[in-house]
């Protein structure tokens, strides 16, 4: 993982273009402390802050030139060894042992379609001097960031938004629609939209091609949500296990120390247990945040089961206190490039800090599992809805009752779930989110909710797959991946996510509903596939705690209380001041009903001060 920047601007001299590129690199220097490189052939500048992970020699420094091709690249193509062997059989000769040169050779061999062969995560730009074309690409799920500004045939791009704010094309206007989505839905991006009108994100699974002052953006891959594999559950569990173990094997490739972010939940425990049981990793460091006050989450008892099963795991823990939070919050809000919708990302920041203190440069994390296997409780609404739409009333009631019993829900809660399931059966995903957008919190923005576009997808297939597809592409995962990258790179760490191997993602989408979620059991195929590898105490957990932190309840009334001080007049252009102060005053009096909304308001306020 590294930081990339670049520009194509015929209006800049070589001197000025280089100066601008160096300034962009300065702002994102935390992404790559091992080497800085810049390459300029007007009108093009490519720049790179390197975090050395594979082939630590200077031969793999970037930007790298390969004949008339020059690349700046962030990420890892995990199957680079296999691709290299294939290319060598075609006569290609390599002078380095890393994956960057393999990408260049693959581009030379297969052109734009080379990315369809990659297993991994990437954001890169290749200047082809022969065709005078800049070819940019972002991985299938947007694990690696790629932000850009373009106007009048001029293009600037960078890994992080802050790298673009000092460029000549940046005008600084705020995207009010994105402010609304962030406050009410917790989204930090929406397709190509960011919090700034000028700055766009290249969508996942897309290429951007600049040539002769014109830009084309082309999708190169997607997930099939319709086709269902009719194999048995036992066959699917075995197939999942094989694919997942191969993904972990590939994502463990590196030439530097590696660890695992371990929450005590099923996803991260599956990763570390697979590493410990099925690879040559003899010492595995794990990193966990915990909190011990009443009502807070401490996952260490579940982690103890993993440590007993695999003695080669070396656990490290951090429990940020009030002073830690107060000292770090300004840096965290700055690095995010958008308001934080949840305090859980503060805990993630401290986990990455802990990993850095232990000398680790790569971590594996469990992002993506819930989005491809129905790990969130809202998946139950779609499971029941699919039964209802198919006329299978008995199955719908059986799943409802099993889910209610598994979670210990009273009758009133079960009726609520049934009502939401019926709503899901008769409404599509866009209208479900539009309803949530308008009803989840009091509307206090000056703009109308009707003026804020929500672009949800309507893929073919089941209600469950439609819900999961939107989690993956639109609603949740883009935010999780944004914060994962930002927090890891704040400490010059590369974060990898084995569940987002595209082969595994497609496999899970091809499974029947009841192989993903059945009788209240979420991620059923994962639990079955990991039986005998993950300790039963973790496999059989019935709760879904997430990466919970005490931020919006405790921190805003403690070390971060100052964020709520004052009259909030600086928000007047965005919100109705009277309605805002009613919510803030209720929170100050101890009302927690809208505590998460208050957290988002406080983070928006902090963001606007530096935007």
Give the catalytic positions in this structure.
2
Please give the Cα distance from 586 to 33 (Å, whole number): 46
Helix or strand or coil: residue 44?
strand
Please give the Cα distance from 15 to 21 (Å, whole number): 10
Q: Contact at 8 Å (CB) between 580 and 542?
A: no
**Residue 128 annotated as binding site:** no
Q: Contact at 8 Å (CB) between 429 and 470?
A: yes
Secondary structure of 496-507 as H, E, C letters: ECHHHCHHHHHH
Q: Which run of H or E residues covers position 25?
A: helix 14-27
* Token pair 């993956």 in the structure block, residue: 472
Q: Contact at 8 Å (CB) between 437 and 467?
A: no
DSSP state of 77: E
Cα separations (Å) of 337 from 141, 340, 445, 474, 593?
20, 9, 21, 18, 27
Q: Contact at 8 Å (CB) between 195 and 147?
A: no
Please give the Cα distance from 66 to 114 (Å, whole number): 16
Please give the Cα distance from 440 to 341 (Å, whole number): 14
Please give the Cα distance from 5 to 27 (Å, whole number): 10
Closest CA to 496 of 254, 186, 146, 192: 254
Q: Contact at 8 Å (CB) between 377 and 521?
A: no
Name the phi and psi angles at 9, rounded to 5. -145, 100
Please give the Cα distance from 207 to 184 (Å, whole number): 30
Maximum alpha-carbon separation in the chain: 72
> Which residues, at least 6 apart from 348, have a Cβ–Cβ distance to it below 8 Å?
261, 289, 483, 484, 487, 547
Tokens of 149: 């500004």
Please give the Cα distance from 470 to 35 (Å, whole number): 38
Residue 78 CA, chain-centre distance (Å), reads 18
Helix or strand or coil: residue 62?
coil
Helix or strand or coil: residue 85?
helix
DSSP 292-361: -STT----HHHHHHHHHH-TTEEEEEE---HHHHHHHHHHHHHHHSS--S-THHHHHHHHHHHHHHTT-S
The strand pairing partners of 138, in sequence order, are: 123
Pairing status of strand 64-66 against strand 69-77: antiparallel
Task: Identify whether 65 is preceded by a cis peptide bond (ω within 30 of 0).
Answer: no
Please give the Cα distance from 294 to 277 (Å, whole number): 35
Closest CA to 502 of 140, 143, 88: 140
- Residue ranges of the binding site: 99
Binding site residue list for L-glutamine: 99
């Amino acid at each position: 993982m590294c930081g990339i920047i670049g520009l194509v601007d015929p209006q800049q001299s070589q001197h000025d273009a280089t100066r601008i590129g160096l300034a962009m690199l300065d702002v994102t220097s935390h992404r790559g402390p091992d080497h800085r490189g810049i390459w300029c052939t007007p009108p093009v500048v490519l720049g790179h802050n390197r975090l050395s992970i594979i082939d630590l020699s200077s031969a793999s420094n970037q930007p790298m030139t390969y004949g008339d091709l020059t690349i700046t690249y962030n990420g890892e193509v995990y199957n680079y060894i296999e691709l290299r062997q294939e290319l060598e059989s075609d006569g290609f000769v390599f002078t380095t042992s890393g994956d960057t040169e393999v990408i260049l050779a693959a581009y030379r061999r297969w052109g734009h379609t080379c990315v369809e062969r990659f297993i991994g995560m990437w954001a890169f730009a290749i200047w082809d001097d022969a065709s005078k074309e800049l070819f940019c690409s972002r991985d299938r799920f947007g694990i690696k960031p790629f932000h850009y500004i373009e106007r009048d045939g001029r293009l600037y791009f960078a890994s992080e938004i802050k790298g673009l704010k000092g460029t000549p094309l940046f005008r600084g206007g705020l995207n009010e629609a994105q402010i609304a989505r962030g406050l009410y839905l917790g989204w930090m991006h929406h397709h190509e939209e960011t919090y700034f009108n000028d700055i766009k994100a290249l969508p996942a699974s897309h290429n951007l091609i600049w040539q002769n002052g014109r830009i084309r953006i082309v999708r190169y891959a997607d997930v099939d949500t319709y086709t269902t594999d009719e194999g048995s559950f036992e066959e699917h569990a075995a197939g999942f296990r094989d694919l997942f173990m191969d993904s972990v094997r590939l994502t463990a490739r590196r030439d530097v120390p590696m660890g695992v972010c371990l929450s005590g939940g099923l996803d991260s425990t599956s990763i570390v247990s697979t590493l410990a049981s099925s690879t040559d990793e003899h010492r595995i460091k794990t990193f966990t945040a915990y909190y011990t006050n009443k009502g807070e989450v401490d996952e260490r008892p579940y982690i103890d089961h993993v440590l007993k099963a695999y003695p080669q795991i070396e656990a490290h823990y951090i429990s940020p206190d009030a002073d830690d939070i107060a000292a770090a919050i300004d840096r965290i809000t700055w690095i995010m490039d958008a308001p934080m919708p949840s305090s859980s990302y503060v805990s993630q920041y401290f986990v990455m800090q802990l990993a850095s203190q232990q000398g680790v440069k790569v971590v594996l994390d469990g992002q993506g599992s819930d989005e491809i296997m129905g790990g969130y409780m809202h998946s139950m609404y779609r499971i029941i809805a699919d039964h209802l739409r198919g006329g299978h009333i008995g199955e719908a009631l059986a799943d409802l009752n099993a889910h209610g019993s598994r979670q210990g829900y009273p009758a009133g809660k079960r009726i609520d779930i049934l009502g939401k399931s019926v709503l899901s059966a008769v409404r599509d995903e866009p209208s479900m989110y539009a309803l949530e957008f308008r009803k989840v919190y009091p509307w206090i923005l000056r703009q109308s909710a009707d003026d804020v576009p929500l672009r949800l997808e309507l893929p073919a297939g089941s209600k469950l797959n439609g819900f999961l597809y939107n989690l993956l592409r639109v609603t949740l995962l883009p935010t999780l991946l944004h914060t994962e990258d930002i927090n890891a790179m704040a400490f010059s760490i590369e974060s990898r996510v084995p569940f987002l191997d595209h082969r595994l993602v497609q496999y899970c989408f091809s499974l029947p509903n009841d192989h993903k979620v059945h009788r209240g059991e979420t991620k059923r195929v994962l639990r079955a596939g990991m039986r005998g590898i993950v300790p039963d105490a973790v496999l059989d957990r019935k709760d879904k705690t997430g990466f919970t932190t005490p931020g919006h309840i405790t921190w805003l009334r403690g070390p971060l209380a100052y964020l709520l001080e004052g009259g909030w007049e600086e928000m007047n252009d965005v919100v109705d001041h009277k309605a805002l102060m009613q919510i803030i005053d209720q929170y100050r009096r101890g009302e927690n009903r809208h505590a998460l909304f208050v957290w988002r308001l406080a983070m928006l306020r902090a963001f606007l001060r530096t935007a």
